[in-house]
Amino acid sequence: MRPGNLTLALVLGAGVLAISFGSVLVRLATGAAGFESPGLSLVISALRLTAASLLLLPAWRALQGARLGRGAWAYAVLAGVFLAVHFATWITSISFTSIAVSTTLVNTNPIWVALIAWLWLRQRPSGLTLAGIAVAFAGGVVIALGDSSNPGSNPTLGNLLALLGALAASCYFLLGREAQHRGFGIGLYAAVAYSTAAVVLLTLPPLFQTGLTGYPPMFYVWVLLMALIPQLVGHTSFNWAVRWISPVIVTLVILLEPIGASLLAFALFGELPGPQVLAGAVVMLAGVVLAVLGNRS
């Protein structure tokens, strides 16, 4: 039975708050490690998914009574592969292009979700929803342009990787939705997808000559919190919600992450968002409201 709108709103709100902790925890983890590199970013991603998978081991008990439809396993495993691709490409992109551009491009996933859902699921978005996507994306650009970081060592490669990260995230959510429609409960689905992503990501740090061990204890504490909060609470909330409402709306709600992250950075580090960030946040919120209204109509 479909949950009520209030329940969906509360779950999505909890999800946004949870993923907003992601960038804060990454900063704390890299600070504990004492250095920053693409290899370390991949280590953080791999350990985050590994820890989340281990915490979800009890969820595998649901496999005994699960009644899975044809193709359910394939969709769940593919979702995990695309989740790994999302982390690997997006995190690596930051090493080659600016944070502003990378963040803007990786947040284009509502556009990709709308297009894929239109072509694959025949779910044509309304004109108001498309307008909301455009307005929300414009707000994201305004926020990102507030970052004055340098253009990076290889902007073309970095931009391409960020776009691939957005496309991979879009496929991850749509495949996860289909896996749940074919019989997976949210706990078992998350266990399969996160475990698959962990296996893929664990193979990547050695390519950058970066090990998984030998870091200070606090590094692993922050990574464990990443597994608990942004991954288990954040991602799992969105994976649950995408089963019941339009994936376009879910990915648009995820665009609110920079707003939540900015508020947390202010609360924890005293970093006050600039007027451009605040203006972009207002525009983004207006776009999300338009898209939600368009989806309801």
Q: pLDDT category, 53, cuts 50, 70, 90?
A: very high
Q: Answer whether residue 50 shows pLDDT above 90.
A: yes
Q: pLDDT category, 258, cuts 50, 70, 90?
A: confident
CA gap 233, 36 in Å, rounded: 26
pTM of the model: 0.85
pLDDT at site 156: 79
Q: How far apart are the first and last CA of the chain?
A: 21
CA gap 42, 91 in Å, rounded: 7
State the number of CA atoms in the 13 A half-sphere of 7 facing the CB: 8
Stretch 249-274: mean pLDDT = 76
pLDDT at site 35: 86
